[in-house]
Amino acid sequence: MRRIHAWLTENLPSLIEEHGVPGASVAVVVDDEVVDVAAGVLNQGTGVAATTDSLFQIGSVTKLWTAALVMQLVEERVIGLDDPVTRHVPGLRLRDERVTIRQLLDHTSGLDGDVLTPTSRGDDAVALYADTVAPGLTQVIEPGSGFSYSNSGYVLLGRLVEVLRGKPFHVLLRERIADPLKLSHVATLPEEALLHRTAVGHFGQTPVPVWNLPASISPAGSLLCTSARSLAQFGAAHVHGHELLSEEAVTTLWSSTVDVPEIGSFATHWGLGWASFGWEGARVLGHDGGTIGQAAFLRVVPQAGVSVALLTNGGSTVGLFADAVLGHLLSDLAPVRQPSRLTPPAAPAPIDASLVTGAYSSPALRLEITVDGPVSATARVSAVSEETRLAMPEPMTKKMVRLDERRLISVEPGMGGRHEVYVFVGDNGPADYAFGGGRLLPRVG
């Protein structure tokens, strides 16, 4: 681990400068040893330095914490994974009441995933979401019929544990995860984050005007902040010891039974909360998270007893930065190698305009595909909701070419250094859905 600490100490400052990341913190746990290193600043407006005890928002990595809370209830035989969620949440109304707890965990519920409606800022925020927002959620596909990443589904899981434990979600995070694991640097609410050195998100190098996403979606990843060390230790608790969950429960969480369409910058399979990332040599599991100008990454390699957390607060090339850091660390510590990236072909084939042309939309995002010529198309992505505009203030336009019969790939890489890929889903004629960023977007025009 001395070698790892030395590499991080020497390279992290230059890597954040190279990739335009204001500040970052990295922690590595191997068996019982921990090293962590930080570099840069928490806020370009104040110049406060990032330190190893600084907190960053972990975004959707929170879903792994939510999954742990649910699995504790499964272990206690309070619920079954294949129970309809409505059985345990009195008054919960969904358009399809067959949706199960397992389907919410592995993103096969079919519920529209990005309804980020704010409710209140109090302890009733999640309950109000379940009562007032959930009944209006669109059923994009039949429950269990396919993968579509769903923040909304995880809010319902958060409400499930609130009802069955009789306490607010943020209290359960601390009482049932942070405290038992002795995680010293965790904030479950903004007012707790104020007691620590806490990062501010950035668009490029500019601090964001809004610090957090709505409290109503906290079980999906809007409020939880940790240090890199505490997050890596959370990951390690699934690899070593059973303070949090039994070995059998962890194995169940990691059973990656759901295939994900290959888009290159996403997981290849999904378990119960945990994603599998398709590295060569050994299983690499974890989750990524993004909030308003912050990005988080957690990876574990169970075979090697390794857990790595990387937390950042902005920059235009977070994907490249994550690849550089995680790629080096995991390859050094485990017999793994990063999968190769998808890249556009040198001589693209003609695009089937009848398949892809059209508009695809959800309550959060709208995707418009136009075919400009035999081998060229344009994808325009714009925010629909006010909450989505916080993370994507302006529409993005990308030139696309054909990757294969049902996939388009961007000509130029995006901010993360990866090429955007869309998969077009349907049996015959025009596609019924476009799959991108982990979501199925239904055709609307």
Which residues are known to be catalytic? Answer: 60
Q: Which amino acid is at 142?
A: E
Beta bridge partners of 369: 358, 379
Strand blocks (E) in 353-418: 358-361, 365-373, 376-383, 396-404, 407-410
Handedness of CA 90, 95, 99, 104 (dihedral sign): negative
* Alpha-carbon gap, residue 228 to 37, rounded angstroms: 9
Q: Is 401 helix (H, G, I), strand (E, B) or coil?
A: strand
Nearest to 333 by CA among 357, 381, 299, 358: 299
Nearest to 176 by CA among 88, 70, 271, 255: 70
Q: Could you give the dihedral angle defined by the CA atoms of residues 152, 157, 158 and 159, in that order, rounded to the nearest 10 degrees?
A: 90
Query: For residue 106, what is the DSSP state?
Result: T
CB atoms within 10 A of CB 293: 26
* Alpha-carbon gap, residue 73 to 90, rounded angstroms: 17
CB 165 within 8 A of CB 172: yes
Which residues, 6 or more positions from 114, have their beta carbon under 8 angstroms from its beta carbon? 151, 152, 362, 363, 364, 365, 385, 388, 439
